[in-house]
Amino acid sequence: MKYEPPKSDFTIDLKHEIALYIWEEGRGPALTAVHEFCSELHGSPNTEHCATTVNSYLSSCGTLVKREDLFVAVKTCQKFHRERVPVVKKTWVKDAALLEFYSDIADPAIPTTDLGVPNTESGHCAKTFAILRRFVSGEVTQAPWLLLVDDDTLISLPRLRRHLRCYDPNEAVSIGERYGYNLSKGGYSYITGGGGGRK
């Protein structure tokens, strides 16, 4: 970043950015499969040659977070109401006790809440901040936890609730994948859609 400006104002995580830099839009070195980097579950048969495995263990830190203590805010926009929202509704939201869809229009068929923020192609900060303000105001819920996701997010709410028991909802905490905006020009890092935080 010091010698070559980024190709976009948005940066994902360091692993992704380094991979893009090495890849050079297909002109970089070809990737070589290394069989010792395995994606099998830890302890599975035939993983003795693996330098890496996947661990699905979740530590038991305390009381399971109740469904009613997690408010789910799904960001969407009108162009995805018919394509993405039905998939979300048919899959993981059945595990949500408190949920609202936020969009650039009010659609009673879903239903969605119009935050008065137009949809944009690059950056969704205004919609995110509007949701955060609404959540913190207590206007919608008194739940201590907020999960903020996009309409193309797939997540296991029971696993998230098990993971959240390792944190105190009275302390400031954000959990998620860190992205960056305009970092080379003094911008800021933020948790991408799918990240959650405490009230």
The pLDDT, as a whole number, for residue 133 is 93
Q: pLDDT under 50 in the chain at which residues?
A: 195-199
The pLDDT, as a whole number, for residue 197 is 45
The pLDDT, as a whole number, for residue 6 is 67
CATH topology of domain 67-198: Spore Coat Polysaccharide Biosynthesis Protein SpsA; Chain A (3.90.550)
The pLDDT, as a whole number, for residue 198 is 43
The token pair at 185 is 């020009």
The pLDDT, as a whole number, for residue 81 is 96
Long-range contacts of 79-85 (CB under 8 A, 24+ apart): 79/119, 80/151, 80/152, 81/107, 81/109, 81/110, 81/112, 84/151, 84/152, 85/110, 85/151
pLDDT per position as a tens digit, 25-38: 889 888 788 888 88
Sequence spans of domains, the chain: 32-61, 67-198
The pLDDT, as a whole number, for residue 65 is 95
pLDDT per position as a tens digit, 71-85: 999 999 999 999 999
The pLDDT, as a whole number, for residue 199 is 42
pTM of the model: 0.75
